[in-house]
């Protein structure tokens, strides 16, 4: 693996493998899965992401889905979602590439500001955001089944 790592736009045929990746990360952290609620976007990528001008990508090792990221557009702002990699694919700049891909989509859509909300239990993601020029600001209780505490990360200009 390594030379075969690539990022491609999501296709419906990737759905089950992509969901499996995110579920594995949820199990790793002990977070609760809610297919018909908080995780509904992953089952309806076309509606939740693509229809509104957003995008969703998957990371592949050869033909194996190993990660994902999504972005939604909201007027003058875009929001990052679902940045996840399988554990064995972390620390090799694939997360950075996924985030940069989402940022590029915001820029190409004429948007100059990105927000990412991230669980306080995910410090590696926070390091990545700060490294790519995000500023940490604000916190909220997420509307997920675990009522997670999240930090806000903002980047402007993108
Ligand atoms: C967060 C995540 C996507 C980052 O992807 P990654 O491929 O592991 O990160 P990268 O290799 O691209 O690292 C990019 C930068 O982030 C920082 N970073 C990433 N992991 C780090 C770690 N464990 N310790 C210190 N810094 C780290 C490094 O500064 C790195 O900079 P460099 O490229 O100059 O070395 C991945 O670790 C992951 O899936 N984690 C679990 C799920 C998660 O936290 N998702 C985010 C939800 S908001």
CATH number at residue 49: 3.40.630.30
Q: Which residue did the predictor score with more confidence, 2 or 109?
A: 109
Mutate which of 42, 124, 130 for ligand 1? The one with the most ligand atoms within 8 Å of its CB, which is: 124
Closest atom of ligand 1 to 122 CA is: 44
By DSSP bridging, strand 77-85 and strand 114-119 are: parallel
Domain count, the chain: 1
- At residue 12, the pLDDT reads 97
Q: Is the pLDDT of residue 1 over 80?
A: no
- At residue 4, the pLDDT reads 85
Mutate which of 22, 38, 66, 90 for ligand 1? The one with the most ligand atoms within 8 Å of its CB, which is: 90
By DSSP bridging, strand 77-85 and strand 64-74 are: antiparallel
**Which neighbouring-strand residues pair with 135?**
154
Beta strand segments in the chain, E:
5-9, 55-61, 64-74, 77-85, 114-119, 135-141, 149-155
Domain of 149? 5-155
Structure confidence by residue, pLDDT tens digits, 68-77: 999 999 999 9
- At residue 3, the pLDDT reads 62
Residue 98: pLDDT band (50, 70, 90) is very high
3-state secondary structure of 15: helix
What is the CA(121)–ligand 1 centre distance, in A? 13
Indicate which residue's Cα is closest to atom 5 of ligand 1: 95
What is the CA(123)–ligand 1 centre distance, in A? 9
What does the alpha-carbon distance between residue 16 and residue 33 come to, in Å, rounded to a whole number? 15
Report residues whose beta carbon is within 6 angstroms of any ligand 1 atom. 25, 83-85, 90-96, 118, 122, 124-125, 127-128, 131
């Amino acid at each position: 693996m390594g030379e075969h790592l690539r990022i491609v736009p999501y296709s419906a045929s990737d759905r089950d493998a992509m969901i499996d990746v995110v579920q594995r990360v949820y199990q790793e952290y002990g977070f609760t899965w809610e297919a018909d609620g908080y995780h509904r976007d992953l089952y309806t990528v076309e509606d939740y992401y693509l229809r509104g001008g957003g995008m969703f990508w998957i990371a592949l090792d050869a033909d194996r889905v190993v990660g994902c990221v999504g972005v939604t557009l909201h007027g003058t702002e875009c929001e990052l979602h679902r940045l996840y990699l399988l554990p064995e694919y972390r620390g090799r700049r694939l997360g950075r590439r996924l985030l940069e891909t989402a940022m590029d989509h915001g820029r190409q859509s004429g948007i100059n500001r990105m927000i990412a909300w991230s669980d306080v239990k995910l410090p590696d993601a926070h390091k990545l955001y700060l490294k790519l020029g995000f500023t940490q600001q604000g916190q909220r209780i997420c509307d997920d089944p675990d009522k997670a505490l999240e930090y806000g990360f903002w980047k402007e200009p993108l």
